[in-house]
Amino acid sequence: MPQIAQMSETFASQLFWLLLVFGILFFVIGKGMVPKVMDTVGLRDKQIADDLAAAQAARDAADAEEEAWRTRENANRASAQALVGEAKAKAQASTEARLAEVQVGIDARMAQAEARIAASRDAAAGEIEAVAADAAKDIVSRLAGVNVDQTAALGAVKKAMAHG
Amino acid sequence: MAADTAKVDPMHQFAIEPIFGSDWAIAGHNIAFTNSALWMLIAGICLWIFMIGGMKREVVPGRWQMAVETMTGFIDDLLEANMGKEGRKYVPYVFTLFMFILFANLLGLIPLPLAMAGVHAFTFTSHFTVTGVLAIMTFAIVLTVGFWKHGLHFFSLFVPHGTPTLMIPLIFVIELISFLFRPFSLGLRLFVAMMSGHVLLEVLSSFVIDAANAGPAYGVLIGGPSFILMIAICALELLVAGIQAYVFALLTSLYINDAEHLH
């Protein structure tokens, strides 16, 4: 086993070269290069974290903006709806008032017309009675040769008309 | 046949050979530039080239930069999970340790093409002189951090909460011994895992060669299955290479966490 057989003669050489090489590596690579590499990684991580934070902030701002817009929009919509409702109610009220007014006019005219109709009917009925009485008196005097006076004839006509 | 079997010595791959500078010395100790040192250097250079890909520092990373960032992130997460926020200051050390061991393990597995060119990959993590030094480094950091932060109070690490007073001396000794064993288990685990895998591959390859030399029938009957098994074990070794590097880094972070937070 050379490790043991050669130990005493090679130990100094092994120790010397190992310490020399490892020492140089430690200072050049361990102390010189590794921190720079780790700095690069740290810098990148930091940049990524910053970018992510910025993106998050932008997103939050956008969310807040949207929320504000939504509230504003809702308020606008509500006020618009209130306006529409008000206009509708006003229109309804004025329509109703106008309708009532017109209705009153119509009612009055209808009542007048009805009164006129009733008067005409009464007049017509009176005329019919008079004509009927004349006719009855005429018929009676021709058939029976009896002269009936006007009053009696009218009374008989009224009686007959009342019976239908 | 004897010459053939001698050629396939499973342990030969772990032999350290000086490449140049055999007479270099510090305070009487030889510090020749060996094949082991060469592969440490290669692992280091590969790691450095790998890391250069991560230095583009683009906000939108390419594949290579992504790979580098994944590795640093992996170690960062590991330390964060085991140690919390304090873990971050140990990232340079644990990252260097993890990547160095990982590259060493993986480079040690480089198979045929390089070997045919006469370059034999050397797995220096299969030497406990190397893994032991790495483990001792970790342990030294644990001790330094522990005594620096907590002073002598660090010894309370060896007395878990709710230990009955009577048991404290016994538990203290047991915990102390288990604590002192940590660098050994840490270093030996990596060394054993890497060495056993390479020995296994080498033994199987010697089966293939010996069986083929013994005759075509042996070659097909023994060499064939051995070869298929070798390929499967190569895949397993890639997994082991990653897992052992991870385990080393994980245990390092756990031990440092003990020093940082006691219990």
ipTM value: 0.85
pLDDT of residue B4: 45
Cα–Cα distance measured from residue A59 to residue A67, given in angstroms and rounded to the nearest whole number: 12
Q: Is B84 left (phi over 0), alpha (psi -120 to 50) or beta?
A: left
Give B34's strand partners.
B18
Cβ contacts of A25 within 8 Å, gap of 6 or more:
B44, B47, B48, B96, B100
CA-nearest residue to A9 within chain B is B30
CB contact under 8 A, B133 and A1: no
Interchain pair A25, B100: CB under 8 A: yes
Pick B96's closest partner by Cβ from A7, A10, A26: A26
- Nearest Cβ partner for A34 among B18, B37, B92: B92
Residues B133, B134, B140: CA angle, nearest 5 degrees: 85
Confidence of residue B254 (pLDDT cuts 50, 70, 90): very high
Q: How far apart are the first and last CA of chain B?
A: 60
Closest approach of chain A CAs to the CA of B261, in angstroms? 24
Burial environment of residue B228 by CB neighbours within 10 A (0 to 12, 13 to 18, 19 or more): exposed
Q: Out of B93-97, B158-162, B170-174, which region has the weakest mean confidence (pLDDT)?
A: B158-162
Q: Chain-wide mean pLDDT for chain A?
A: 90
User: Residue B20: helix, strand or coil by DSSP?
Assistant: strand
C-alpha angle B241-B246-B248 in degrees, rounded to nearest 5? 100
- Looking at chain A, which residue has its C-alpha nearest residue B28? A12
Chain A partners of B47 at a C-beta cutoff of 8 Å?
Answer: 25, 29
- Spatial neighbors of B234 by CB under 8 A, at least 6 apart, are B109, B111, B201
Q: Which residues contact B129 (CB under 8 A, 6 or more apart)?
A: A3, A7, A10, A11, A14, A15
Mean pLDDT of B15-39: 81
Please determine, for residue B1, whether its predicted confidence score (pLDDT) is greater than 60: no
Instruction: Tell me how far apart the terminal alpha carbons of chain A are, to the nearest angstrom.
Output: 158
Cβ A13–B26 below 8 Å, yes or no?
Answer: no
- Considering only CB atoms, A44 lies closest to which of B16, B37, B59, namely B59
**Residue B159 per-residue DSSP state:** S
Residue B146 has pLDDT above 70, yes or no: yes
Give the integer Cα–Cα distance in Å for B95 and B72.
7
> Which residue from A17, A35, A41 is facing B40, i.e. has the nearest CB?
A17
A115 to chain B, any CB pair closer than 8 A? The answer is no
- Give one DSSP letter per residue of A88-145, joined into a string: HHHHHHHHHHHHHHHHHHHHHHHHHHHHHHHHHHHHHHHHHHHHHHHHHHHHHHHHT-
Q: Is the pTM of this model over 0.80?
A: no
B144 in reach of chain A (CB within 8 A): no
Q: Does B127 touch chain A (CB under 8 A)?
A: yes
Residue B212 has pLDDT above 50, yes or no: yes
Do A6 and B15 lie within an 8 Å CB cutoff?
Answer: yes
pLDDT digits (tens, 9 = 90+) for A51-89: 999 999 999 999 999 999 999 999 999 999 999 999 999
In which band, very low, low, confident or very high, does the pLDDT at B43 lie, cut at 50, 70 and 90?
very high
pLDDT digits (tens, 9 = 90+) for A80-120: 999 999 999 999 999 999 999 999 999 999 999 999 999 99
The helix/strand/coil state of B32 is: coil
Share of chain A above pLDDT 90, in %: 59
Q: What is the mean pLDDT of residues B226-234?
A: 91
Residue-level pLDDT at B2: 41
Can you list the pairs that B149-158 forms with residues at least 24 positions away whose Cβ atoms lie under 8 Å? Answer: B149/B259, B149/B260, B150/B259, B150/B262, B153/B262, B154/B259, B154/B262, B156/B262, B156/B263, B157/B258, B157/B259, B157/B262, B157/B263
Measure A12 CA to nearest chain B CA, in Å: 6
Q: Judge whether A23 is closer than 8 Å to chain B, CB to CB.
A: no
Q: Show residues of chain B in contact with A33, CB under 8 Å.
A: 51, 54-55
| Cβ atoms B62, B130 nearer than 8 A | no
Q: Which of A12, A14, A40 sits opposite B57 (nearest CB)?
A: A40
Q: What are phi and psi of B29, to 5 degrees?
A: -100, 135
- Beta pairing, strands B18-20 & B29-30: unpaired
B183 or A4, which is more confident? B183
Distance from CA of B32 to the nearest CA of A (A): 6
